[in-house]
Structure 1
Amino acid sequence: MLEAAIEALVMILDPQRLPFMFLGIAMGLIVGILPGLSGTVGMSILLPFVYGMDPYTGMALLIGMAAVLHTGDTFPSVLLGIPGSSGSQATIMDGYPLAKSGNAARALGAAFFSSLVGGIIGGITLFLAIPVAKPLVLAFGSPELFMLAVLGLSMVGVLAAKNARHGLLAGLLGLMLGTIGGAPAVSEYRYTFDWIYLFNGIPLAVVALGLFAFPEMVDLLAQNRKISSKTKLEGSWKDGIVDAIRNKWLMFRSAVTGSLIGFVPGLGGSVVDWISYGLAKQTVKNSDSFGKGDIRGVIAPESANNAKEGGALIPTLLFSIPGSGTTAILLGGLTLMGLQAGPKMVTTDLPITLSIIWTLVLANIFGAIACILLSKPIAKFSLISAKKLVPFLLVLLLVGAYQSTRHIGDMFLFVGIGLLGWIMKRLDWPRAPLLIGFVLAPAAERYLWISMSRYGFSWLTNTGVVIIGIIIILILSSGTIIKKLNKDKKNNEMSSIS
């Protein structure tokens, strides 16, 4: 194993192959920075070019891009309150308030350092999982996958602590929007109003951009202000790195969580950041500042969303089970280079698998360093006036929304959901629960249908289902217990002072 790892590293560091990894990193950062463009789009652009390449070079190019997508997408999430991709949605919760207070560079520094650490932990997880991955992946049937979707939905309660009723209603609305289109395993279409565009459901990019980006653009124009309320930027990327190191256990814990959730096919990519954010909010001290510009609310999701890439590659490489559009295209890339995902990837083709791990780690390091060096100048975007910034951003947002299906319906839905998001913001309703409900609706419905049709109600007694159910109860109850303890502590301190 060690000899194969050294052989793979030598192959990756070959002067003829190394530039391809840097090209993939550069492309990944560009796709991540542009709001609305997903990893699927970026990988699709590169896929034709890997045809005929040797596997080491082709994987260096593809993995170089995949590794840093969730590093570059931090820029729009922090600076503009716009989710750069599905994996950076939770970063908005505290990253954007930090940018509005003039601490954009600090938030970016913490995010990129956390991404670097998370990516390395994800690579280590992939390396350690090679001999033991098969029983882990096969242990998850439809009942366990449904319960994991419910675990993600439990974050609705965590993120709507101020007004649980509004959070619950927003989550239910998200679930309803997520059921638009085809029903699982049945040739029926729901809530489409005979509009062919809705037969495949509403694209995630349209919902995310409309819900978060559109309201911010409208408010910036209406108030004719800059993103930052300060005339000068406060803090620097160095302060952000110090913050991340100070919260090293949170960063490590979130990265491990991201790796574990990432290897669950079809679920981890879009919800791992919300789960890590919710767990951080539930378990850290003095969490009342979450959602208002708490640096810990940036560290947790950013370390998790990069770490999950290593976990997501486990079922992709070993069992040909892609967990996302990005990994599905990666499987296509393997085929174009004459490889076949499966047991051969840990036997005959082990050096290639290890080269993927090395590329994942190295790309995260180089990508994070590049973003850290760029964080200070790019943070100055938060000081540009709305009249100059918003028209340019609206064009990008419309292009990002339109690329989802390249149908005019993308534009109409972007504006419609944008108005809904603006109304929710004005009424102080939480928007994150709606997005969580929308993301998890298809998976929850599909796995529930399969579980009921195959097992009836007997699946409720499965060991995995019971364990995940206990975890959900602990998460929901721990927040209440911690709040009560903090309240009692404050009351005791007040009484001692008086």
Structure 2
Amino acid sequence: MLEALSQSFVTIFTFSHIVWLVTGVLAGLSIGVLPGLGGIVGMSILLPVIYGMEPDIAFALLVGMVAVIPTSDTFPSVLMGIPGSAASQATIMDGYPMAKRGEATRALSAAFTASLMGGLVGAVTLSLVIPIAKPLILAFGSPELFMLTVLGLSMVGILAGKRPIRGLLAACLGLVIGAIGAAPAAAEYRFTFGTEYMMDGIPLVVVGLGLFAFPEIIDLLIKGKAISEKTTIGRGWVKGVKDALAHKLLVLRCSFIGVIIGFLPGLGGSVVDWIAYGHVVQITKDKPQFGKGDIRGVIAPESANNAKEGGGLIPTLLFGIPGSGSMAVFLGGMLILGIQPGPSMVTEHLDLVYTSVWSLALANIVGAALCVILARPIAQLTKVRYAYIAPFMILIITLACYQATQTWGDLIALLVMGILGWIMKQFGWPRPAALIGYVLAANLETYLFISAQRFGWTWLWRPGVLVIGAIIVISLILGLRKTAAIDKAAQKSEAKQ
């Protein structure tokens, strides 16, 4: 372990690693400042780029992007009142009112400082968990990994969105999409409809960009107006930093909330900001101004938002279970590099695990610094009408998808997935659930096949399987109760009307 630590520490300070890390940070900054995109789209665009790269360099690029997007997506949330990504919605509640009364600089400064602190807490937590979790990880076999995959699907289905059943069905839809093409455990093709393109399945980059990028672009084009009416951000950099430091205990609490939420498969960015925001609203007793421009309403979600990336890397690297949509794409990137995430990471690629940890910490520092330096130029860009930016974004997305197999099938699949993503968004179906279901489809089938072949039906009685099974049942019961409560409340509301 000490050898892996020292090797990773040397790696992150090599010239090539720093260059690619900064490149990933700059790419993430560019994606984050554009409303509605976020980490899933950014990571999907990078997937074609990492083909043939050395794993440590590719990790630098991917971690650089995934670390900075939760920081840079604060720009559209504060300056425009438009969520930069799904994980920055709560920041709008107080960040945008502050911007409208001339305190945009203070809000941005506090957000960047809280993001930096939260990101570092997430990285430190990840580094501490690895040696503690190592014995547990090595005890996991294919039956336990299968049950963990089922747990991830059940949690993403139950906990994603306001309607848990919709989340569960969306995850199942992702499983169906992931089942297209060659079966991982048998010599047969499924759902190909005699099409050669479908035999290899739909590429991850096409699914990710189709479900998330095009629906957001279409919605913003429909609005057809300038991104923001104001281009000045005023003063208050130092005051924002002082605000974050004055509420350091709040930052620490929300950072740990972010780590825990990031660790739970299927939660991630879809709820972490609201949970942190709800926490600060509940504990505050001194005449709060939440919703009208309270700085604590900016600090809480931003610190949790960045910390979740460290938490999300834990199940992604050590169990092969993505904690969020962006982690699902990150997992796909690992598979492209020929690295199988899971228990083998702590025996065969422990140096890469620690490289990811230190890269995450370094990327948070670089990202926060760049956001401060580039704040004023970025504020000027918000005056541009979205109609002028959209063609450039569509071009990038189309080229990224075409690189998957370099056939027309990629573009047709992108269009189909884009329509599906737009329909899901319009009717309130959680798209991250579908993406995670797609990513986990192959693992689910492979682990089940290996368990059945090796243990027969006796694997069902292993202690780890029973414990995880009990957790799955409890989560399903709680989710169904939540659905029943929502339906009951809706019926009462209709009855009153």
For the criterion TM > 0.5, the same-fold answer is yes
Q: Structure 1 residue 416: deviation in Å?
A: 1.3
Separation in 2 of the partners of 1:63 and 1:126?
16
- Please state if 1:95 is matched with 2:88: yes
Q: Structure 1 residue 447: deviation in Å?
A: 2.0
Given the superposition, is the C-alpha separation of residues 463 and 430 from structure 1 closer, same or farther in structure 2, using an over 3 Å criterion?
same
Q: Structure 1 residue 456: deviation in Å?
A: 3.6
| Superposed CA offset, 1:422-442 (max 9, x none) | 223333444333233223222
Matched with 2:188 is 188
Separation in 2 of the partners of 1:329 and 1:430?
26
Separation in 2 of the partners of 1:110 and 1:4?
34
Aligned residues of 1:67 and 1:119 also touching (Cα < 8 A): no
Amino acid at match of 1:213: A
Matched with 2:158 is 157
Separation in 2 of the partners of 1:436 and 1:278?
20
Q: Structure 1 residue 218: deviation in Å?
A: 1.9
Amino acid at match of 1:214: F
Separation in 1 of the partners of 2:366 and 2:72?
20
DSSP 3-state at the match of 1:221:
helix
- Please state if 1:22 is matched with 2:22: no
Given the superposition, is the C-alpha separation of residues 126 and 394 from structure 1 closer, same or farther in structure 2, using an over 3 Å criterion?
same
| Superposed CA offset, 1:81-136 (max 9, x none) | 9xxxxxxxx98324257569974975897478446534554355436634x55423
Matched with 1:385 is 385
Separation in 2 of the partners of 1:5 and 1:188?
43
Matched with 2:412 is 412
Q: Structure 1 residue 471: deviation in Å?
A: 3.4
DSSP 3-state at the match of 1:170:
helix
Given the superposition, is the C-alpha separation of residues 97 and 203 from structure 1 closer, same or farther in structure 2, using an over 3 Å criterion?
farther
Unaligned residue ranges in structure 2 (runs of 5+): 32-40, 78-82, 283-289, 291-296, 321-329, 340-344, 487-497
Q: 1:71 aligns with which of 58, 67, 70?
A: 67
Separation in 1 of the partners of 2:381 and 2:430?
26
Matched with 1:273 is 268
Given the superposition, is the C-alpha separation of residues 21 and 68 from structure 1 closer, same or farther in structure 2, using an over 3 Å criterion?
same
Separation in 2 of the partners of 1:282 and 1:419?
32
Given the superposition, is the C-alpha separation of residues 96 and 461 from structure 1 closer, same or farther in structure 2, using an over 3 Å criterion?
same
Separation in 1 of the partners of 2:133 and 2:26?
33
Given the superposition, is the C-alpha separation of residues 402 and 357 from structure 1 closer, same or farther in structure 2, using an over 3 Å criterion?
same
DSSP 3-state at the match of 1:195:
coil
Aligned residues of 2:122 and 2:307 also touching (Cα < 8 A): no
Separation in 2 of the partners of 1:7 and 1:208?
33
Aligned residues of 1:155 and 1:275 also touching (Cα < 8 A): no
Unaligned residue ranges in structure 1 (runs of 5+): 51-58, 82-89, 262-267, 317-322, 333-340, 487-498
Given the superposition, is the C-alpha separation of residues 202 and 369 from structure 1 closer, same or farther in structure 2, using an over 3 Å criterion?
same
Correspondence list, 1:49-448, <5 A: 64-74=60-70, 92-95=85-88, 103=96, 110=111, 113-114=114-115, 117-119=118-120, 121-123=122-124, 125-126=126-127, 129-130=130-131, 134-153=134-153, 154-161=155-162, 163-227=163-227, 231=230, 238=240, 246-255=250-259, 258=262, 273=268, 277=272, 280=275, 299-300=303-304, 302-309=306-313, 324=331, 326-327=333-334, 358=358, 361-374=361-374, 377-378=377-378, 381-448=381-448
Separation in 2 of the partners of 1:257 and 1:363?
21
Q: Which moved more, 1:190-199 or 1:470-479?
A: 470-479
Aligned length: 431
Aligned residues of 1:282 and 1:478 also touching (Cα < 8 A): no
Same amino acid, percent of matched pairs: 31
Given the superposition, is the C-alpha separation of residues 143 and 107 from structure 1 closer, same or farther in structure 2, using an over 3 Å criterion?
farther
Amino acid at match of 2:21: I
| Superposed CA offset, 1:458-495 (max 9, x none) | 33332222333343445455678899999xxxxxxxxx
DSSP 3-state at the match of 2:187:
coil
Q: Structure 1 residue 190: deviation in Å?
A: 0.5
Separation in 2 of the partners of 1:208 and 1:4?
33
Aligned residues of 1:121 and 1:307 also touching (Cα < 8 A): yes
Aligned residues of 2:67 and 2:119 also touching (Cα < 8 A): no
Separation in 2 of the partners of 1:353 and 1:214?
33
Amino acid at match of 2:259: A
| Superposed CA offset, 1:399-429 (max 9, x none) | 2222333332221111111112222333344
Aligned residues of 2:226 and 2:384 also touching (Cα < 8 A): yes
Aligned residues of 1:180 and 1:190 also touching (Cα < 8 A): yes
Aligned residues of 1:21 and 1:363 also touching (Cα < 8 A): no
| Superposed CA offset, 1:148-169 (max 9, x none) | 22222222222232x3444443
Q: Structure 1 residue 249: deviation in Å?
A: 2.0
DSSP 3-state at the match of 2:140:
coil
Separation in 2 of the partners of 1:378 and 1:312?
33
Matched with 1:338 is none
- Over aligned residues, Cα RMSD in angstroms? 5.1
Normalised by the length of structure 1, the TM-score is 0.67
Q: Which moved more, 1:219-228 or 1:372-381?
A: 372-381
Separation in 2 of the partners of 1:375 and 1:139?
48
Matched with 2:492 is none
Separation in 2 of the partners of 1:331 and 1:181?
20
Separation in 2 of the partners of 1:99 and 1:139?
44
Aligned residues of 1:77 and 1:96 also touching (Cα < 8 A): no
Amino acid at match of 1:155: V
DSSP 3-state at the match of 2:306:
helix
Aligned residues of 1:79 and 1:381 also touching (Cα < 8 A): no
